[in-house]
Amino acid sequence: MTSSNISELSDIYTLDVPDMDIWPKAEKILTARVSSGDIYVDWEDGRVSRFQALWLREQCPCIQCHSEITRETLFDITDLSIDVQAKICVLDADGYLIVQWDQDGHESRYHPGWLRANCYDDWARTGRETGKPTWDKDFEIPAFEAGGVLEDDDQLYDWLVALDRYGLTRLYNASTDTGTVEKVANRIGQIRPSNFGSIFEVVSRPDANSNAYLSVELPLHMDLPTRETPPGLQFLHCIVNDAEGGESLFADAFHVAKFLKQTAPEVYEIVTTVDYPFRNRALDCDYRTAGPLIRLDADGHPVESRINTFLTAPITHLPHDQLKKALEARHHLMRLVKEDRFRVQFKLRPGEIVAFDNRRALHARTEFFPNTGNRLLEGCYLDRDDLHSALNMQARRKRCEAIRKSEAT
Ligand SMILES: [Fe+2]
């Protein structure tokens, strides 16, 4: 978001909600009631939302409870006991929900659009689950015009949605000037520096401190598995690529994980639970960490992979038998990753940027031959958090524009 976008949003910004977001009043509340300590809201479209009392009390948007400047919480919910109850629950003339609380007599006023956007009933939670589709060798990588992404917020939004959903996108028709990758990355947020710098050049060089800076084939991998939280995004901008070889390959680690779970559940169990150590060896730094090769969330869905065969460190924390099983499981997974069925392959053209989720879309390069031509890519990292923030801001802008449009008609 540029500062001008933000000032446009501030016209419509309201203290009626406990965040800085903008929520359309798309559905009216018909009635509100209290039952067994919970607050029920009946919507015009027939849906019902049930709010737990502590949850609703904590989200009171008034300026005693949420700072009118930061919108961060001022009120400490633990000052009340857990059996806080709504004493009165009514609608005001503007259709807002008014609740008076029993313990401190505080009165809260809730915006219906905010309540609708944040309710958590089964129907609401199901409607919000987007589920990220996984992909294999037949994947048509979503492609966007770089100029459009740089200049137009709607095209930026479409690109961010695809990047978040698939973890792999291409931008075409970018300039071949150095520094272009930074401009594109800054449409999302701040670059995340590493010991390779803020912007790194992928080029064959004699003083290489990474296999990436040799011309050898690089197997499918993620970057910086040696960090506790490896970068969430990686961008590679092709400036020159006329050497023979040097094709790019990508594979969706979440798709491989799904396949592994179906075909070898005992291996899946090991690679999702055992910590595998990684280490980067260099003259001036020594990063080490360990983690499962596939990390699952509380619902058992893969949320990140930690797959790299050239930065592995010896396992030293397991007894021999467990160590053997862990290595065999890793072997199984890494052989699977290499299978053609999972990977897309193409040659990056000058002016093309590939943007991908470093903890999901594994990347590789075939060997290239520096005596046949040049190959130079500029790259950088960002965090997933910045992608999510940029997406949220664009979604807010779109809601704001929709409200403006509806008010104008
Ligand atoms: Fe890499």
Contact 219, 343 (CB under 8 A): no
CA of 203 from ligand 1 middle (Å) equals 12
Average pLDDT over every residue of 255-272: 98
The pLDDT of residue 3 is above 50: no
**258 shares a domain with 182:** yes
**11 confidence band (pLDDT: 50, 70, 90):** low
Q: Which two tokens stand for residue 21?
A: 């977001």
- Write down which residue in 94, 129, 164 finishes a domain: 129
User: Which CATH number fits the domain that encloses residue 53?
Assistant: 3.30.2020.30
CA of 358 from ligand 1 middle (Å) equals 9
CA of 352 from ligand 1 middle (Å) equals 17
Rounded to two decimals, the pTM is 0.93
CA of 310 from ligand 1 middle (Å) equals 11
CA of 202 from ligand 1 middle (Å) equals 9
The pLDDT of residue 375 is above 70: yes
CA of 307 from ligand 1 middle (Å) equals 11
Q: Whole-angstrom Cα distance, residue 200 to residue 381?
A: 9
Query: Considering only 149-163, 184-198, 201-215, 314-328, which range has the smallest mean pLDDT?
Result: 201-215
- Write down which residue in 129, 153, 172 finishes a domain: 129
**303 shares a domain with 232:** yes
Its domain, for residue 29, covers 10-129
Q: For residue 30, what is the enclosing H or E element?
A: strand 29-35
The pLDDT of residue 208 is above 90: no
**406 confidence band (pLDDT: 50, 70, 90):** confident
**205 shares a domain with 111:** no
**159 shares a domain with 254:** yes
Q: For residue 343, what is the enclosing H or E element?
A: strand 343-346
Average pLDDT over every residue of 21-37: 92
Average pLDDT over every residue of 74-80: 94
Q: For residue 240, what is the enclosing H or E element?
A: strand 233-241
Taking Cα atoms as reference points, which of 362, 363, 358 lies closest to residue 384? 358
CA of 260 from ligand 1 middle (Å) equals 23
**150 shares a domain with 125:** no
CA distances from 364 to 182, 186, 347 (A): 22, 25, 11
Beta bridge partners of 170: 143, 354
**148 shares a domain with 125:** no
**162 shares a domain with 123:** no
What does the angle CA 336 – CA 162 – CA 260 come to, to the nearest 5 degrees? 20
Q: Report how many domains make up the chain.
A: 2
**180 shares a domain with 114:** no
**169 shares a domain with 36:** no
pLDDT digits (tens, 9 = 90+) for 45-66: 999 999 999 999 999 999 999 9
CA of 365 from ligand 1 middle (Å) equals 9
Q: Count of residues for the chain?
A: 409
Q: Whole-angstrom Cα distance, residue 278 to residue 314?
A: 8
CA of 304 from ligand 1 middle (Å) equals 16
CA of 223 from ligand 1 middle (Å) equals 5
Buried b / exposed e over 32-59, threshold 16 CB at 10 Å, is: bebeeebbebebeeeeebebebbebbbb
Contact 360, 232 (CB under 8 A): no
| Average pLDDT value over all residues in the chain | 93
**85 shares a domain with 30:** yes
The pLDDT of residue 170 is above 60: yes
Query: Considering only 8-12, 34-38, 152-156, which range has the smallest mean pLDDT?
Result: 8-12
**269 confidence band (pLDDT: 50, 70, 90):** very high
CA distances from 105 to 54, 84, 100, 102, 273 (A): 14, 11, 6, 5, 49
**292 shares a domain with 384:** yes
